[in-house]
Amino acid sequence: MVAKHDRLQGKDIAGVSEEVLARLMEYDYPGNVRELENIVEQAFVLCRGGLIELHHLPPELRPKERPVSFARPRDLAGMERSMIMETLARRKGNRKLTAGDLGLDTSTLYRKIKKFGLETPPSDGRGCRR
């Protein structure tokens, strides 16, 4: 297909990058071969170099860019504190489930909660025990 478009458009494109090949292989192609043909043709139009890269593909085939979050802590302790807080919130204060999710022993989780001075809900999320 690359050689065909090289001839049609008078370009000298050697092929596609490994990332592009991987994307093209994993895409579902609801339009079958015609859709693949259109994607390659569009990439040829956009490509100015010798190799088709990810940025030449249509947006639906490009990897989703994750926005950079500056609110996250940049040190290891801050990241650990943040992970514990988020997991506690997700588990509605249940420390046993939180420890399990984080791969910690429950006693280690309690020490880290105390170390970071984290506020925990009065209930531990397990409900009433009698």
Torsion sign, CA atoms 40, 45, 51, 57? negative
Residue pLDDT, tens place only, 54-84: 888 888 887 776 555 555 556 888 888 888 9
Tens digit of pLDDT at every position of the chain (130 positions):
666 666 666 677 778 888 888 888 888 777 778 888 888 888 888 888 788 888 888 888 877 765 555 555 568 888 888 889 888 888 888 999 999 999 999 999 999 999 999 887 666 655 554 4
Both 37 and 78 in a single domain?
Answer: no
pTM of the model: 0.44
Tell whether 66 is covered by a domain: no
52 φ, ψ (degrees, to nearest 5): -80, 125
| Burial zone of 43 (CB within 10 Å; 0-12 exposed, 13-18 middle, 19+ buried) | buried
Please tell me whether residues 114 and 89 are part of one structural domain: yes
Domain boundary among 31, 61, 91: 61
For residue 110, the model assigns a pLDDT of: 93
Which positions ≥6 away from 103 have C-beta within 8 Å?
Answer: none
| Residues 9 and 32 reside in one and the same domain | yes
For 106, phi then psi, to 5°, come to -60, -40
Q: Which domain holds residue 83?
A: 72-130
Distances (CA, A) of 97 to 40, 113, 115, 121, 125: 48, 14, 19, 14, 9
Could you tell me if 54 and 86 lie in one domain? no
